Amino acid sequence: MIATKRADVWVLLGPHRGDNHQVLALAEGLGVPFRPIWMRYRWFAHLPAVMRSVSISQLQPEARAEIAPPWPSLVIGIGQRSVPVARYIKEASGGRTTIVRLGDPMVSPTYFDLVLTTPQYAVRDLENVVRLPVTITNPPILPDPFEERWLESFPRPRRLIAVGGATSLWQLSSSTIRAAARTLLGAADRDGGSVIAVTSPRTSPRLAAAARAELGSLAVLDGEFPRYNALLSAADEIYVTGDSVSMLSEAVKAGKPVGLIPLEPNPIGHLIRAAEAVRGRRFRIRDLTKFWNDLTSRGLVGTVEQPRCGVLNADALETAVSAVNAALEGRLPETVVRIRVQGRPRGARTAAG
């Protein structure tokens, strides 16, 4: 459905491309007109007191001017900083607006009508919380004729490495990228095929250089061509660094064997783990290991040496759309129970069969 300036569904967009892809994919999946609104914040928007408020004062003037009646029936957002804006809209509408949040809003889920989250977040399991096994993604697209011509230089089976980068608590080393590339080149020498790597906005020059040192410059992509979703369609196996929940989700959704390239805790990550061991419980922060372990237990991902191809019990987008419609129609609790039953893990297969 085409975005429009006059719509009964508002989508709050922010600075992170992966987050925006999720909320836009959900809005498009609803099949009704929607209005994307860019949230541009003032310097104090990240303060805890602001993020727990019901306000639009933290928005820059041009963004604040967009938040005006007529109020929508549904407002979709993701993360933390747009939470006060969504709550402001609901209050201004006299409670008529339904709030749907993705990810971890970092406040109680009771402030919202529906929270769609994934395993790495410490969101409480309430009757308005749906925990998806992977993030909401756009489907892969077929390569166009120009991309097909480029891909002819890389024989099948094509092994795609999706390279991310460091996060606040995790580090990705050049040696890890080089080791993964060497392992896959060895598989190509033994069984035929080729290896391609694609970087992301998070990839440092050092990591990109490590990939080029093993694969050569032509096999390491850092631009818009070929398109990433087209590469997912053209690949026979996909290997993803563990920092990117979105890239892992897209790989799983592609229905190909997937291998996880591991990360290591950085010094801050080690300190947090040590503190958690002392206090006997984990802090309420994003924990990527929960996401990795959940995918592994479901048989959806394997390793570089042995990728796995599992089957999602339910499509994340279809599940999310069903939950949103239930929230709008006042039948969310029974829908959440049904979704949780459908989401239980089942078996998987390896790349070898």
Residue 124 has a pLDDT of 87
pLDDT tens sequence across 56-113: 999 999 999 999 999 999 999 998 899 999 999 999 999 999 999 999 998 899 999 9
Considering the chain, what percentage of its residues have pLDDT values greater than 70?
Answer: 92
Q: What is the mean pLDDT of residues 290-315?
A: 91
Q: What is the pLDDT of residue 351?
A: 60
pLDDT value for 336 = 65
| Burial state string for 76-88 with b = 16 or more CB within 10 A and e = fewer than 16 | bbbbbbbbbbbbb
- The pLDDT assigned to 305 comes to 95
pLDDT at 196 over 80: yes
- Which residue carries 């129609």 as its tokens? 329
Is residue 349's pLDDT more than 70?
A: no
3 state SS for 80-102: CCCHHHHHHHHHHCCCCCEEEEE
Pairing of strands 170-171, 35-38: unpaired
CB atoms near residue 151 (< 10 Å): 19
- Could you tell me how many residues make up the chain? 353
What is the reported pLDDT for 277? 75
Q: Over the stretch 303-334, which tens digit does the pLDDT of each residue have? A: 999 999 988 877 899 999 999 999 998 877 66
In this prediction, residue 285 has a pLDDT band, given cuts at 50, 70 and 90, of: confident
For residues 10 and 3, give the distance between their C-alpha atoms in angstroms, rounded to a whole number.
Answer: 10
Specify the pairing of strand 170-171 against strand 264-265: antiparallel
pLDDT digit string, tens, across residues 12-66: 999 888 889 899 999 999 999 999 999 998 888 888 877 788 889 999 999 999 9
pLDDT of residue 313: 79
SS3 for the chain is: CCECCCCCEEEEECCCHHHHHHHHHHHHHHCCCEEEEECCECHHHHCHHHHCCCCCCCECHHHHHHCCCCCCCEEEEECCCCHHHHHHHHHHCCCCCEEEEECCCCCCHHHCCEEEECCCCCCCCCCCEEECCCCCCCCCCCCCHHHHHHHCCCCCCEEEEECCCCCCCEECCHHHHHHHHHHHHHHHHHHCCEEEEECCCCCCHHHHHHHHHHHCHHHEECCCCCCHHHHHHHCCEEEEECCCHHHHHHHHHCCCCEEEECCEECHHHHHHHHHHHHHCCCCCCCCHHHHHHHHHHCCCCECCCCCEEECCCCCHHHHHHHHHHHHHHCCHHHHHHHHHHHCCCCCEEECCC
81, 40 contact by CB (below 8 A): no
State yes or no: pLDDT of 293 exceeds 60. Answer: yes
Percent of the chain beyond pLDDT 90?
62
When pLDDT is cut at 50, 70 and 90, the band that residue 211 belongs to is: very high
Instruction: Determine the pLDDT at residue 49.
Output: 79
Domains and CATH numbers, the chain: 9-133+315-342 (3.40.50), 145-310 (3.40.50)
The whole-number pLDDT of residue 270 equals 75
Q: What is the mean pLDDT of residues 123-136?
A: 90
pLDDT at 337: 61
pLDDT reported for residue 339 = 62
Beta partners for residue 76, in sequence order: 11, 100
223 compared with 230, residue with greater pLDDT: 230
Q: What is the pLDDT of residues 248-267, one digit of tens each?
A: 999 999 999 999 999 998 88
Structure confidence by residue, pLDDT tens digits, 130-146: 999 899 988 778 999 99
Q: Given the structure tokens 């933390």, which residue do they identify?
A: 80
pLDDT beyond 70 at 245: yes
What pLDDT does residue 125 have?
Answer: 85
Rounded to an integer, what distance in angstroms lies between the CA atom of residue 28 and that of residue 36? 11
pLDDT of residue 208: 95
Q: Residue range 220-227: average pLDDT?
A: 87
- The mean pLDDT value of the chain amounts to 88
